[in-house]
């Protein structure tokens, strides 16, 4: 399990690195919002521990704009113990909230509880490609593949129908539903060509004249 700490206090970083690695978690940290955003573009994590006050901005804004859309469970960790701040974080959708100073044992207990619940999420694996259907994240050998929103939705459609052909007419209808754009067969071919190139994989099978399929092997 991969845990990312977003925190600029070096003592907290060192302490949690030691504790979490001893619990067999993969530990990563970033000290700024910009660094966290860049890191998450390339690496998927299972849980984030997020400080509210960071050198280049507000942790609540980072959660709202970046973490929540990725559906990454997040624990706010901050010196702010005002009721309004706690309510704000939880109302946004964060999993939990701890104030500094905090008990390491309590933090571990909360992490275990959250990850146990999230481990039940739906992840499909075909060859070296995995699709987290809850987070809408595609990984190849544990590295994030950057797809556009429409490409993700098209790939998601195939993963939701493993071992079944998704017809071109269904895909056309879905693209209209998602974007309002009236596209043709050629455009569909171009979309899937781009997806295949980004995945660098042969998991998408073309059924000539009918549609596309991904087989669970």
For 159-200, how does the pLDDT look when each residue is reduced to its tens digit (9 = 90+)?
A: 988 899 999 999 999 999 998 888 888 999 999 999 999 999
Which residues does residue 144 pair with via DSSP β-bridges, in sequence order?
139
Write out pLDDT tens, residues 104-115.
899 999 998 888
pLDDT reading at 120 higher than 60: no
Take residue 130 and report the two structure tokens written for it.
């995995």
Q: Which domains does the chain have, with CATH numbers?
A: 2-118 (3.40.50.2300), 123-214 (1.10.10.10)
What's the whole-number mean pLDDT along residues 30-55? Answer: 93
pLDDT of residue 194: 96
Mean pLDDT of the chain, nearest integer: 89
pLDDT of residue 83: 67
């Amino acid at each position: 399990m991969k845990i990312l700490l977003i925190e600029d206090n070096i003592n907290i970083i060192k302490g949690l690195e030691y504790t979490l690695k001893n619990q067999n978690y993969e530990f990563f940290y970033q000290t700024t919002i910009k660094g966290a955003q860049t890191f998450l573009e390339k690496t998927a994590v299972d849980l984030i521990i997020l400080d509210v006050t960071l050198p280049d901005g507000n942790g609540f804004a980072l959660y709202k704009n970046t973490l929540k859309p990725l559906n990454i469970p997040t624990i706010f960790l901050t010196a702010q113990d005002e009721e309004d701040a706690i309510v704000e974080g939880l109302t946004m959708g964060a999993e939990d909230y701890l104030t500094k100073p905090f008990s390491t044992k309590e933090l571990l207990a909360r992490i275990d509880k959250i990850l146990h619940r999230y481990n039940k999420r739906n992840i499909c694996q075909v060859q070296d490609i995995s699709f987290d259907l809850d987070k809408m994240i595609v990984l190849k050998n544990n590295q994030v593949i950057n797809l556009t929103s429409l490409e993700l939705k098209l790939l998601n459609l195939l993963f939701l129908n493993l071992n079944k052909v998704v017809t071109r007419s269904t895909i056309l209808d879905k693209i209209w539903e998602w974007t309002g754009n009236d596209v043709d067969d050629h455009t569909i071919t171009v979309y899937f060509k781009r997806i295949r190139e980004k995945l660098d994989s042969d998991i998408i099978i073309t059924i000539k004249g009918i549609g596309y399929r991904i087989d669970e092997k």
